[in-house]
Structure formats: structure tokens, C-alpha cells
Chain A
Amino acid sequence: MTVQTWTYILVGITFALYIGIAIWSRAGSTKEFYVAGGGVSPLANGMATAADWMSAASFISMAGIISFAGYDGSVYLMGWTGGYVLLALLLAPYLRKFGKFTVPDFIGDRYYSNSARMVAVFCALLVSFAYVAGQMRGVGLVFSRFLEVDINTGVVIGMVIVLFYAVLGGMKGITYTQVAQYCVLIFAFMVPAIFISIQMTGNPIPQLGMGSTVNDGSGMYLLDKLDGLSTALGFNEYTNGSKSTIDVFAITMALMVGTAGLPHVIVRFFTVKRVKDARKSAGLALLLIAILYTAAPAVAVFARTNMINTVSNREYADMPDWFTKWEKTKLIKFDDKNGDGKIQYVADKAKNELTVDNDIMVLANPEIANLPAWVIALVAAGALAAALSTAAGLLLVISASVSHDLIKKVFNPGISEKGELWAARGAATVAVVIAGYFGINPPGFVAAVVALAFGLAAASFFPAIVLGIFYKKMNKEGAITGMVVGISLMIFYILKFKFGVFDGGKGAVAGLTKDWWFGISPEGFGTIAMIVNFVVSIMVMQFTPSPPEKVQEIVEDIRIPSGVGEAVDH
């Protein structure tokens, strides 16, 4: 059977499975729609959180980015896992004890103010929309390459599927489809990783294969070999980076804190029964995520070595089938500058003839390594599972922000349970359509904004939530000013250094890197914006009235794990 037939079969089976689960787990109440009824087991929540978290970026792009960036790629590995330590220790247990439906719910109640709630809603919508557009793009990419349909048709198919189970099932439907999607995506990621690890190093465990010797009888360690290949072509040593230490530090911190502040991850912890379940499911989620995140750097090393060996200084005419197929999607470009018919892949931009998009390394890896057709198809199904599960989680945040935080809490408190449920479904539908539109017509800034969503979350939510829990005296004036200053500063820095808005547009961006504050890139600036948020909050608090007694009592109460109610409407 061909790759395409296999892909149709595997994608068909997994989609049927997701739809089946959605029908079985329809939501009947707002509580089921927002927090899956509040009785999800820690293991199911751990799996759902892992799938929710691991997006098209983790599955498709991350290993590819690391593969080109080497050590510099470590920021994603540490950043996107270390955030779970913060989440488990500083946020999840207390937010579960607090027991409401959304993150703006916590901010609005803890800071006794609808203005605070509105600021939080704005931040949640900004972060989630930026993120979901990227997922839809990932869905389209997989469809276009593996099923050879038009990329736009792919986006529309993805929209219909997500719409179906997110709108019908709400959080309940999403949770159980995410459990299934975790199984699909981890299997799809690990099978080719194990195959290639055996092929290249003889070690079936990719995490160990990465540090083993190459299987070609030379007795050379794989990483040493790759360092050698890289330097020979003029690139940096793979195991050494080119970013400054302070920038690596800042980016890692921004990604960690941003991860802990992402609303679609935080809400997952509202779905379990007890505080101790919230702690445990954070641990399980990270364990399940770590399986992929420790294999990804190994995949990156295998893919990079394989690619250099396959293309470097070889005849263009002799390139394998996958090369030309990816050329069609324009994600591989070859330009024979010196006209010798061979591919020169080198660091020197003037001489380099080959550009390879980060995103294809994971998708093309099984083909580069000549793995069987079903493995290649499996990767397509896994990538779709990763993109769809994250998209669904984000859509739920968007719909809850609109129906619960805006309509129910601010504009129409008298709305009936049934009315709110329909509002939630309507908001989810509109959100899918908008996300799909951006998936089909990606504005140039989507990719940049996805990367910066973490900075935005770090600059806004994280300080407000942590202070809300650990600093009883923190008041609404402090928290609101902190959030507004933090996110404004972050947006300003992005506009200035990512888009060159104040210096004559995109073309100026490259020349501005020397002006970076403290030598920190826009990706890492979330760290500074977060610190500014903390400092401003605490300073403003000194000069404004303390929070009411009742709020201080709430804070004392959320610090004690017992006596937890189920997540309730109030």
C-alpha cells in the first residue's frame, strides 16, 4: 500500500474515534461544558493536559528547530517543561481549591473588580487567538502534503472536526478526545524515533541513542560526528550555541513562566475532584510530556545527521522521492548557484544552495530514513492529533471567556443556564471560523505572535495569579496596574523589535538587534516584562487601600487543601 492509502486509513480511523467520543460525551450543563463536570481522574486529566499542551509546534516544529539550532534549541526543551514545576507548585493546587471555571474568574473575584476581570479576558483572548491560528495552519500543512489536498481544504476539514466535538461536548468532549489524541500522538512520535535510533546507533531508546556511538563501525559518538559535520560546513558546533548566555537565560525563563500562565493549560486543573488530584495530575502531565520532550532532541540529532549525509554535495538528479515531493510544497528550495548540479549546503549564505523549512524535519524524517509507509502515515495522524487537541483546548478558553466572563459576569448576569450554554456554543463556533480564516490567510505575523504568546502570558497572568495566592495584601489597584503595564510593555517591545514599527518597518528589524535592552531578544523579553509587572504591582499596592477582609479570608481559605467544593457557579 502507498503512503497516501495508509494516511487515509489512519487519519480516517482516528477521526472516527474522536467523533465517536464526542457523541458519547456530550455536555448537558454549563458545568460539564466548562470543566467536564469536575470529576475527571488525575490520570485522564494528565493525559488530556499533555495533549492540550503539545501542539503542532511541539510535534511538528520543535525537533526541527532544535535540529537547526543545536544547543540554542534547549530553551524550548527546558522552557516548555520547567513551566510545569511552577504550575504544580505555585498555581494548580490553589486555583483548584478556589474552584471556579476560568482564569478571568479567579482574577475578577480575587481582585474584587470587573475591570480586573476585563483585563484578564482581553489577555486570555489575545493569547488564545494567536495560538489557535498556528494550530489550524499545522492541520492544513499535514493535509496538503500527505493527502495531497489543497491546504485550504485541509484547514476547512480540520475546522469541521474541531467544531463538531468542541461545540457538542465542551470541556467534557474535549477531555476524552484529548486522552485518545495523547495516545495517538505519542505513539506516532515514538515509533519513528525508535526505528531511526536503532538504524543509526543500534540503541532502541532514542534518549540513549543520542549519546551512543554511530552504527557504521567507526566507534565515533553520534554527537561528536554531528559537531564535526556541522563545523565542516561552516555551521556552529551542534552542542554549542550562538545566542548569548543572558538571552538563553531570558528566553528559557519567559517560556517557563509563560507556560505556567497559559489559560488553556490552567483550566485543565479545574476539572479534577480534589486539590491532591490537581497536584498529582500536574506530575502525570509532565511525565507524559517528558516522553516526547526527551525524545525530541534525539530526533533532532538523527534528522540533522541524516539530512546532511543525504544532501550535502550530492547530485540534485539523484535526490530521493521525498525531496521532490517536499519541493512542491516549497518547504525545500534548491537553487543551483554555481551550476554544478550538486547540492551545496553550507552556512555561508552567498554559497548556500539549499533552504529547508524547520517544519518538515519531523514530517520528512521517516521518509529520509526510508521507514515503511505505515510509519510515515502514522506521523501524519499524530501531527493532526497534536494540532486538533490544542486547538480544541484554546477554543474552549475563548468560548468560556465570552459566554461566562463577559456575558454572564458582566453584561447579562440574569442569563439562564441554558442560555449560557448556547452562548458558549455560539462563541466556540465563531472562534473556529475566525481561527480557520487566519489558518487559510495567515497574516505574516501569526508565527511571530505564537512564539510571543508566552511572553504575553508571562507579562500578564503569571504575576497577578502568584501575587493573588502568595501575597494576601495584594489589592486590585496593584494587580490591574501591573497587568496593564506588563502587557503594554511586552506589546511595545514586540512592535519595536519584531516588526520595526517605530523605525520604518520590517526591514529595519535586523539592524535593531544591537539596541535590544540588556541584549535580550523579543522572545525573551517576557522575563523583563514579568519582573516589571511584579515591581509595579507591589509599588502601587503600597499607596492604595488594602483589599477587603472578605478577600483576605478567601486567600487564607485557598491555601488550605481541605474542604474543596466542586467547581461551582456562584
Chain B
Amino acid sequence: MSDKQKKASAYWRENVRYLFILLAIWFAVSYGAGILFKDNLDEIKIGGFKLGFWFAQQGSIYVFVVLIFVYVRLMNKLDKKYGYNE
């Protein structure tokens, strides 16, 4: 394997690791907090919101937005590290 290919596959591995972490959070806030554990979280109330209901109708969406911007930052840094930025 040439150096160029080694660099490319190292970059790809780090990229995929980020994807796993971010998608785990994506799954946890929507399917976890908003659906599977909704009833348990509903025991907790914040203001007028039951927590599980809040995650399903508000919270998960806020987290989604943050996730994409975190991804953008991480990838911009990663591109720089491997010299793929332009």
C-alpha cells in the first residue's frame, strides 16, 4: 500500500469512528428518549413539559441541529490534519 493510500484509509477510519459516535447520540435522543424510554422519562417534569414528550417533540430536533454542526467542525479539523482541506 502506498503512503497515499495509507493516509486515505487512516482518514476514512477516523471519519467512520466519528459517524458511529454521532449516530449513537442521534439514536439515543430520538428512538431512546423520545420513543422507547418515553414513559419512564415522562415521570420527570420540566416546567409544563413531561421529559419524554419534550424529547419527542422538541429536544431531539435541537440535538439533531447541534450534531450536524459538531460533525462539520470535526470534519473540517480532520480534513486539515490530513491535508485534504482546500
Contacts and interface: CB of A to CB of B under 8 A. Distances in A.
Contact of B53 (A71, A470, A564): A71
Contacts of B23: 85, 89
A293 B61 contact: yes
Interface string A71-91: 101100110011011001110
Interface string A287-311: 1001001100100000000000000
Contacts of B46: 211
A199 interface: no
Q: Which of A71, A252, A559 has the most CB of B within 10 A?
A: A71
Contacts of A283: 65, 68-69, 71-72
Contacts of B12: 559
Interface in B49-77: 49-50, 53-54, 56-58, 60-62, 64-65, 67-69, 71-72, 75-76
A258 B56 CA distance: 19
A77 B61 contact: yes
B19 interface: yes
Interface residues of A, number: 50
A211 B5 CA distance: 53
Nearest to A248: B35
Contacts of A221: 47-48
B86 interface: yes
Interface stretch (A98-106, A273-281, A410-418, A500-508): A273-281
Contacts of A85: 22-23, 26, 64, 67-68
B65 A249 contact: no
A239 B31 contact: no
B36 A560 contact: no
Contact of A562 (B34, B56, B61, B86): B86
A211 B48 contact: yes
Contacts of B56: 71, 74, 77-78
Contacts of B76: 276
Interface in A213-266: 213, 221-224, 239, 245, 248-249, 252-253, 256
A252 B30 contact: yes
Nearest to A559: B12
A82 B30 contact: yes
Contacts of B15: 559
Interface residues of B, number: 44
A244 to B, nearest CB: 11
From DSSP, what is the main secondary structure of chain B's interface residues? helix
Contact of A82 (B26, B49, B53, B85): B26
A478 B30 CA distance: 31
A282 interface: yes
A199 B83 CA distance: 55
A470 B20 CA distance: 13
B47 A212 contact: yes
Contacts of A60: none
A286 to B, nearest CB: 5
Contact of A286 (B22, B38, B64, B85): B64
A379 to B, nearest CB: 22
A74 B64 contact: no
A72 B26 CA distance: 20
A249 to B, nearest CB: 5
Contact of B68 (A84, A274, A470): A84
Interface string B1-33: 000010010011001100100110010001100
B68 A556 contact: no
A561 interface: yes
B48 A245 contact: no
Contact of A294 (B11, B58, B75): B58
A210 interface: yes
A239 B53 contact: yes
Contacts of B16: 470
A210 B47 CA distance: 10
Nearest to A93: B75
B48 A222 contact: yes
A71 B26 CA distance: 19
Contacts of A389: none
B58 A297 contact: yes
A123 B6 CA distance: 38
Contacts of A286: 64-65, 68
A340 to B, nearest CB: 35
A213 B68 contact: no
B39 to A, nearest CB: 8
Nearest to B67: A85
Nearest to B74: A279
A475 interface: no
Contacts of B61: 77-78, 81, 290, 293-294
Nearest to A201: B48
Contacts of A287: 65, 69
A82 B60 contact: yes
B66 to A, nearest CB: 9
A290 B62 CA distance: 7
B48 A223 contact: yes
Nearest to B11: A560
A276 B31 contact: no
Given A249-B35, A556-B5, 13 more contacts: A71-B56, A74-B56, A77-B56, A82-B26, A85-B22, A85-B23, A89-B22, A248-B35, A252-B30, A279-B72, A283-B71, A294-B62, A560-B11
Interface of A: 66, 71, 73-74, 77-78, 81-82, 84-85, 88-90, 93, 207, 210-213, 221-224, 239, 245, 248-249, 252-253, 256, 274, 276, 279-280, 282-283, 286-287, 290, 293-294, 297, 470, 556, 559-564
Which 4 residue pairs spanning A and B have beta carbons closest together? A221-B48, A74-B56, A283-B68, A211-B48
21 contacts: A71-B38, A74-B34, A74-B53, A78-B61, A81-B64, A82-B26, A82-B60, A211-B49, A223-B49, A224-B48, A249-B36, A252-B35, A256-B30, A283-B71, A283-B72, A293-B61, A294-B58, A294-B61, A560-B11, A562-B84, A563-B86
